[in-house]
Amino acid sequence: MGCMQGSRFAFGPFVLDSGAGTLLRNDIPVAVGHRGLKLLAALVGRPGDVLGKAELMDAAWPGTAVEEGNLTVQIAQLRKLLGPAANGGEWISTVPRVGYRFTGAVEQPDGQTQKPLPLPDKPSIAVLPFVNVSNDPKQESFADGLTEDLITDLSRVPGLFVIARNSAFAYKGKAMDVRGIAGDLGVRYLLTGSARRAAGRVRINAQLVDAASGDHLWAERFDRSLDDIFAVQDEVAAKIVEALLGQLRAPPPRNRPKNIEAYDLCVRARKLMDDTPQSAREAHLMLTRAVLLDPDYAEAYRWLAMNHWMGWVHSGGPTEPSRDVALELARKAVAIDPNDAGCRWVLAYLLAYERHFAEADAEFARAIELDPNEADTFAALSDIAVLAGRVGEGLEHIAKAFRLNPYPASWYYLTLGQAQYAAGEYEAAVETLRRDETYRTSSRRFLAASLAQLGRLDEAHAEAELFLVGNPNFTTRHWAATEPFRDAATLAHFVDGYRKAGLPE
């Protein structure tokens, strides 16, 4: 996983930044296609190693079946771009019938990404995805749900620092190098475990490890009836709190589902939320069913609210009914479980979009009080603070969100890029918004504006055109009217960037 952070590589006159998606020769950008960059990053990331064709094709065309000829063409183009190495040889050598190897010497120039994150001043922990050890792959969502619930339970203990769900799941299915992962995430303790569910029983093994010493602080196995699953979660959470803080304290009670099928549906739906409009529709069906099966399950309402809201975001403009429904569902979630920070920040965010600012600010404050580790709260609050003209505060909030969630969903990068633009940090905004993790239709409007403010008008216009392909009905006026701006100068600054980039008035 170290490679996710160390994304810059220097070889000869080149610097490849796979995070930002750029290749420089003597500090001048080289025009290289998206696939070519992916291939080069895979090769340069493991200098000297032979990479098989299948692995390289997977790096450049993830999840799609392509002809091997495509790989040959891409490699030939890369060789032409890079030219000969200093010794007159090739940067990329062919290993007949097997694959390719990067033969140049590679340095990682940026100390910044290699520096470990400093440990927080309170006990810090990441819960790694529990391994599903039943032979039934359908139980996968059960193990994931268990992991997510433990993260939420521990997050709510004010004395702990807890890494967010998204970043914990970056390690799913990976070999568990305890020290490396703890270093990557900047935490001292890791909780690992396995879960098995069969014939109405659950078996759970859990271990708490101190990554600094490699010692096991606590380990236990549970064998219970499936009906007791949430009691087991509470017990595990309380034991961890005791091990880390020296007193047995159960986190505050949570609203729990009464129906295990509703629970499974909710876990599966959460995974689909960040993806495409297609998977958002699928999530919508699952959540609607979950609510029917268990009408008092707060979390299902919370995600359904978000899904409705995303629906109007994806459709390019708010359709009034879905906005109203989203707000109503979010209020319902908070009414069912007033102690859930996730429900609170979703309500706060939707209230801000309805311009109920005082109520939104109060809900955000309450969410942070209930769960100081809920990274999404800080990311959402950053967006709202920037549009209120509190740009410095917005940058602090998003930095805090990234510290709690180092491998977040793409909207964090969009929020960071927006904050950097608002602060006049255009270079930084371009770097953020060009990263693989961010680069999608909706973020391109901020990228176009940042490039325009730097005077890079050709690039800005190209990005604006790409943005309009995905958002053909976009107008700056309509956008300004729907975003929850509270500060005229900030709004004018965004409008100015859009105008210079050639986005429609």
User: Which stretch of 57-71, 322-336, 364-378 has the lowest confidence by average pLDDT?
Assistant: 57-71
Taking the C-alpha atoms of residue 153 and residue 167, their distance in angstroms, rounded to an integer, is 16
pLDDT band at 89 (very low <50, low <70, confident <90, very high): confident
State residue 301's pLDDT score: 96
pLDDT in tens, 119-143: 999 999 999 999 998 888 778 888 9
Mean per-residue pLDDT of the chain: 87
pLDDT band at 274 (very low <50, low <70, confident <90, very high): low
Report the CATH fold assignment for 373-505: 1.25.40
pTM confidence score: 0.76
State residue 112's pLDDT score: 42
Q: What is the CA radius of gyration of the chain?
A: 24
Model confidence at 420: pLDDT above 70: yes
Taking the C-alpha atoms of residue 363 and residue 325, their distance in angstroms, rounded to an integer, is 19
pLDDT band at 111 (very low <50, low <70, confident <90, very high): very low
What class has domain 2-112?
Answer: mainly alpha
Strands, E, within 180-322: which ranges? Answer: 189-198, 201-210, 215-225
State residue 134's pLDDT score: 85
**Which has the higher per-residue pLDDT, 43 or 271?**
43
Taking the C-alpha atoms of residue 452 and residue 448, their distance in angstroms, rounded to an integer, is 6
State residue 312's pLDDT score: 52
- State the residue for tokens 């905004």: 429
The beta-carbon contacts of 365-373 under 8 Å, at least 24 apart in sequence, are 367/341, 367/342, 368/341, 370/156, 370/339, 370/340, 370/341, 370/344, 371/152, 371/155, 371/156, 371/341, 371/342, 372/155, 372/158, 373/154, 373/155, 373/156, 373/160, 373/161, 373/162, 373/164, 373/404
Average pLDDT of the residues in 227-231: 87
Residues of the chain with CATH 1.25.40.10: 257-344, 373-505
Average pLDDT of the residues in 317-345: 87
Taking the C-alpha atoms of residue 504 and residue 316, their distance in angstroms, rounded to an integer, is 14
Model confidence at 277: pLDDT above 80: no
CB-facing half-sphere around the CA of 298: CA atoms within 13 A: 19
State residue 252's pLDDT score: 72
Name the architecture of domain 257-344: Alpha Horseshoe (1.25)
State residue 1's pLDDT score: 27
pLDDT in tens, 434-461: 887 776 667 899 999 999 999 999 999 9
State residue 332's pLDDT score: 97
pLDDT in tens, 289-309: 999 999 999 999 999 998 888
Model confidence at 100: pLDDT above 50: yes
Question: What does the DSSP assignment read for 397-409?
Answer: HHHHHHHH-SS--
pLDDT band at 275 (very low <50, low <70, confident <90, very high): low
Average pLDDT of the residues in 401-406: 94
Report the CATH fold assignment for 124-245: Rossmann fold (3.40.50)
Of 33, 472, 318, 34, the C-alpha closest to 464 is 472
- Per the CB < 8 A criterion, the answer to whether 331 and 359 are in contact is no
